[in-house]
Amino acid sequence: MAVNKVFPSPAMALEGLVRNDMMVAVGGFGLCGIPEQLIIALRDTGATGLTCVSNNAGVDDWGLGLLLNTRQIRKMLSSYVGENAEFERQFMSGELQLEFCPQGTLAERLRAGGAGIPAFYTKTGVGTVVAQGKPTEVFDGETYVMERGIRADLSLVKAWKSDHFGNLVFRKTARNFNPMVATCGSVTVVEVEELVATGSIDPDQIHTPGIFVDRIVVTRSEKRIEQRTTRPTESP
């Protein structure tokens, strides 16, 4: 019997999955490809003590910045946090924990977790604060630091297109982190812009197989600009 993975709203897609003190992996790169409506639904659950794994922490009024504003995030595991004044305030005051992770290492930690790889070695971060407290090993005369794969309790993903089974297609920059986030969660919920019939996507075009996806919700994307740069119009 076929399982219905499609839910009518983001809130219903998260129903029964969210609890306090859980680890949530969130896709996206800056404000591109973030599961914006699922983040709002997560905020509305009121869950606290969250550890959020994401390339970034959003901005003050969008993305994970919404959860920072409501003090629902206890710890961020990120590679870039430079666009959020509230993040800075909470971190500097000791309210928010932070684990910095180089961007490529973060992507590989997510991928490794999804592939069942508990840890791996990398040269990135050796001799810096990133490597403090972590095991190191020498291979071929070079020092490497051990990084742990990430297994999240819940993964929130944004895809461009999905069929009813959850086979996913991402567009451009949204493909940077979402595919790895989709595989590393014990439960994966995806918001999509377009839902099509199962079998209608060319198998060669599928980026994430539906076996990794548990729930799907169709949303209307709100594409915001992270940094808007303008210049005066020159007079004729």
Q: Is 147 exposed, middle or buried (0-12, 13-18, 19+ CB in 10 A)?
A: buried
- Residue ranges making up the domain that contains 157: 6-120+150-218
Count of domains observed in the chain: 1
Please tell me the distance from the alpha carbon of residue 192 to that of residue 180, in angstroms, as a whole number.
Answer: 16
157 found inside a domain: yes
pLDDT at residue 51, as a whole number: 98
Please tell me the distance from the alpha carbon of residue 175 to that of residue 28, in angstroms, as a whole number.
Answer: 8
pLDDT at residue 234, as a whole number: 74
Question: 183-223, pLDDT tens digit by residue?
Answer: 999 999 999 999 999 999 999 999 999 999 999 999 987 77
DSSP state of 201: S
Helix (H), strand (E) at residue 129: none
Question: 24-81, pLDDT tens digit by residue?
Answer: 999 999 899 999 999 999 999 999 999 999 999 988 889 999 999 999 999 999 998 8
212 found inside a domain: yes
130 found inside a domain: no
The pLDDT confidence band at residue 151, using thresholds 50, 70 and 90, is very high
Q: Terminal CA-to-CA distance of the chain, rounded, Å?
A: 68
**What's the token pair of residue 234?**
């020159």
Question: 90-122, pLDDT tens digit by residue?
Answer: 999 999 999 999 999 999 999 999 999 999 999
CATH classification of the domain holding 107: 3.40.1080.10
Helix (H), strand (E) at residue 42: helix 36-45
What percent of the chain stands above pLDDT 70?
Answer: 97
Compute the average pLDDT of residues 142-151.
Answer: 98
Please tell me the distance from the alpha carbon of residue 78 to that of residue 223, in angstroms, as a whole number.
Answer: 22
12 found inside a domain: yes
232 found inside a domain: no
**What's the token pair of residue 43?**
């905020």
Total-model pTM? 0.92
CB 108 within 8 A of CB 122: yes
- Three-state SS string over 57-69 comes to CCECCECCHHHHH
78 found inside a domain: yes
pLDDT at residue 2, as a whole number: 66
